[in-house]
Chain A
């Protein structure tokens, strides 16, 4: 292969980036085949699964007329709410306990824990984003909701939620390698956080003294922003993307530190 002179040095950024892209691409394809196989609709399950969840929740909430303190359409409320839950819940869930079963990948020196995490996060992000987009279009086509008033705000809010999902995911994912307690606590945590996450209520409909407490949770800001973009003219949105970005950043750093720590202590069988 490279008998004419030395290889590109390993330290060059462009070279490392090319390797990392290749590795993440390979991991994504591997993950898709492992998870969905080649049976029936195969990788389409990636998009259909979150859609089934969201449609189910939309139907239940519509049937119960569970709109909280607002006259807006239930479908728009449910689609924005549940799509937001899926972002910050599915991303970490995919990463909790994802190191141990993938330890054999460490035999390939170019594959790092970060790459395993990145491939799973990308896949999950594409999955829930597609589900959100497709359902919005379908529901708009059949007249259940109107298209967003400000699509940029929707995308911005959603990206902030995705960042939160990635940061939280990297943190709990790497931490779960250190202690099995993380796996035990993550499941109840996500259930307890769901009612507080702003998906099933508008912050404006809460009593003011409770509002401040709920707004400590970063995902509440993201959901409010997504909804502001969708039907902002119909309610008063409460969010601060600066605060959310700060929390996201802190968790991103914590996540990276924890990944580094986990990488140093790996012992593949």
Chain B
């Protein structure tokens, strides 16, 4: 379970505080899949980053007993002057994983060949995404944060990702941000909408989308 209690986030701007959202509360249980809807700038990524512990909330707190991934396929979590393998080993140490097992899994999944032992700065964008995704899967979390997964890689890679995430790991919790309506409808148990500076939860998908549409334009 992960629970957000009265979460608010503000950023300092030159013209004073800008509140992204206030009083956000929600709970996700093991195995649940929740879609987060909201138009550009509504704070979807900010919310994901708060849940992932990347940024700290301005108010409220997040409690829970599940391990939470970083936003999936994100490769910013790497040191680019180090090799893919060095990064993998570092992450294994941080998350207490067996590096050899993880190395095997990443080799299989990311198909980087000998480039695994080259610095990440020599990688193409696609290679970086494959490595990032591979490492997230190798560490294996109770809850995966997924921010616009569809944008990464070619069709074959995407199919591989779907298979790994939604077939092999269908018992995990997932928080999914996507602009792709069908994706959220197909993959999520319920949805929540970020609008009007707060998060509104819906058990019913149609209601969630109706609310989203109503608030997307205004």
Whether A106 touches B54, Cβ cut-off 8 Å, given contacts A10-B65, A269-B76, is: yes
| Contact status B81-A268, CB under 8 Å | no
List B residues 36-91 near A (Cβ within 8 Å).
49, 52-56, 58, 64-68, 70-71, 74, 76-79, 81-82, 86, 89-91
Q: Which of A20-28, A68-76, A224-232 contacts B (4 or more CB under 8 A)?
A: A20-28
Flag whether B166 is at the interface (Cβ < 8 A). no
Cα–Cα, bound, A29→B78 (Å): 15
Whether A107 touches B52, Cβ cut-off 8 Å, given contacts A1-B140, A26-B94, A29-B90, is: yes
Q: How large is the interface on B (under 10, 10 to 19, 20 to 34, 35 or more residues)?
A: 20 to 34
**A103 (CB) vs chain B CBs: closest residue:** B76
A4 / chain B contacts, CB cutoff of 8 Å: none
B76 / chain A contacts, CB cutoff of 8 Å: 104, 107, 268-269
A257 / chain B contacts, CB cutoff of 8 Å: none
| Contact status B54-A109, CB under 8 Å | yes
| Contact status A266-B94, CB under 8 Å | no
| Contact status B68-A104, CB under 8 Å | no
**A112 (CB) vs chain B CBs: closest residue:** B53
List A residues 4-53 near B (Cβ within 8 Å).
6-7, 9-10, 22-23, 25-26, 29-30, 33-34
Flag whether A263 is at the interface (Cβ < 8 A). yes
Find the residue from B54, B77, B91 having the highest chain A CB count within 10 A.
B54
Q: How large is the interface on A (under 10, 10 to 19, 20 to 34, 35 or more residues)?
A: 20 to 34
**B58 (CB) vs chain A CBs: closest residue:** A264
Flag whether B104 is at the interface (Cβ < 8 A). no
Cα–Cα, bound, A57→B178 (Å): 61
Q: When the two chains form the complex, which single residue of B52, B78, B93, B140 contacts A26, counting CB atoms closer than 8 Å? A: B93
Cα–Cα, bound, A263→B56 (Å): 7
Q: How far is the CB of A178 from chain B (nearest CB, A)?
A: 12
Whether A109 touches B53, Cβ cut-off 8 Å, given contacts A26-B90, A30-B82, is: yes
A1 / chain B contacts, CB cutoff of 8 Å: 140
B142 / chain A contacts, CB cutoff of 8 Å: 2
| Contact status A22-B52, CB under 8 Å | no
Flag whether A65 is at the interface (Cβ < 8 A). no
B55 / chain A contacts, CB cutoff of 8 Å: 106, 266-268
| Contact status A108-B91, CB under 8 Å | yes
Whether A108 touches B140, Cβ cut-off 8 Å, given contacts A6-B65, A9-B65, A268-B76, is: no
Flag whether A254 is at the interface (Cβ < 8 A). no
| Contact status A104-B93, CB under 8 Å | no
| Contact status A33-B65, CB under 8 Å | no
Find the residue from B12, B52, B95, B140 having the highest chain A CB count within 10 A.
B95
Flag whether A123 is at the interface (Cβ < 8 A). no
Flag whether A179 is at the interface (Cβ < 8 A). no
List B residues 102-145 near A (Cβ within 8 Å).
140, 142
Flag whether A67 is at the interface (Cβ < 8 A). no
Whether A7 touches B93, Cβ cut-off 8 Å, given contacts A104-B77, A107-B54, A266-B56, is: no
A265 / chain B contacts, CB cutoff of 8 Å: 12
B67 / chain A contacts, CB cutoff of 8 Å: 7
A247 / chain B contacts, CB cutoff of 8 Å: none
Flag whether B96 is at the interface (Cβ < 8 A). yes
| Contact status B70-A108, CB under 8 Å | yes
Flag whether A105 is at the interface (Cβ < 8 A). yes
| Contact status A22-B94, CB under 8 Å | yes
Cα–Cα, bound, A267→B91 (Å): 21
A7 / chain B contacts, CB cutoff of 8 Å: 65-67
Q: List 25 A-B contacts (CB under 8 A).
A: A7-B66, A7-B67, A22-B94, A23-B93, A23-B94, A26-B94, A29-B89, A29-B93, A30-B86, A34-B81, A34-B82, A104-B76, A107-B52, A107-B71, A107-B77, A108-B77, A108-B91, A108-B95, A109-B52, A109-B53, A109-B54, A110-B94, A267-B55, A268-B55, A269-B76
| Beyond A9-B65, A29-B93, A107-B71, 11 extra complex contacts between A and B, CB < 8 Å | A1-B140, A7-B65, A29-B89, A30-B79, A33-B82, A107-B77, A108-B91, A109-B52, A109-B54, A264-B56, A267-B11
Which 9 residue pairs are nearest across A and B when measured between Cβ atoms?
A109-B53, A26-B93, A107-B77, A107-B70, A30-B90, A264-B56, A26-B94, A104-B76, A106-B54
> Interface residues, chain A, CB within 8 Å of chain B?
1-2, 6-7, 9-10, 22-23, 25-26, 29-30, 33-34, 104-111, 263-269
